[in-house]
Amino acid sequence: MKETQFTATLTPVIEVATARSLAHPFIVGLSDGTLPLATFRYYLRQDHQYLEMFGRLHEVLAAQLNTALAQILTSLGEGEDLARQRLHAELKLSAVELAATKPAPTNYAYQTHMAYQNQAHGKAALAAGLLPCYWLYNEVGRRLAQKHSPNPLYQEFFDSYASDDFSSSTNQMRAIVDELAAPLDEAAHEQMRQAFVKSCYYEEQFWQMAYEQQRWH
């Protein structure tokens, strides 16, 4: 009998996170075109700040992997970067404005959570913590790309995450997590699962952070 891949056991978690995301007013507003552009602009600023840290964590993880996995990891997200650059240009988000953005509370907590996984539990937990950013966005994008938001900017956002390129990146990241999980015991798997669950929580909270344009008080 073929052994179940570790990431397959996480499917129920991602399904719940996807359902909650699809019902969130931020995503609903993108889909029906009613989300104010100022709210989406805030999201893009915060997400850029998050993705900067996300990229650095990829470098940290790659340094701990064998050459083949490291090469795969460093190539992930290139299509997402190009899509983001187009959105930034269309909304006149300058490099100066993006660089000046400081992480809002939820953004800060999410980044801290992922860095902690590497420091406390190592590469496998870090990889599991990085995975929801791929998997959840891919699921949301695939479900909403065909709904055709009245706002072409929002439609472009969904299309980028439903693309074959991003789906491939998601599958490659899942494969990396599965390979790291394969030799580990159940206790290590539970650490990975908890890292994944917490990242799903923060992904959902990221929508709320953007929707309310969260600030430090």
Token code pair at residue 105: 């509370």
Residue 133 among the catalytic residues: yes
Active-site residue identified among 80, 139, 179, 203:
203
Active-site residue identified among 133, 139, 179, 200:
133
Give the dihedral of Cα atoms 208, 213, 96, 55; nearest 10 deg: -10
Q: Helix 25-32 and helix 123-144: axis angle, to 10°?
A: 40
d(C-alpha 90, C-alpha 213), whole Å: 20
Q: Which run of H or E residues covers position 87?
A: helix 78-90
Residue 212 among the catalytic residues: no
Cβ neighbors of 29 (< 8 A, separation 6 or more) are 35, 36, 39, 211
Which residues have a catalytic role annotated? Answer: 133, 203
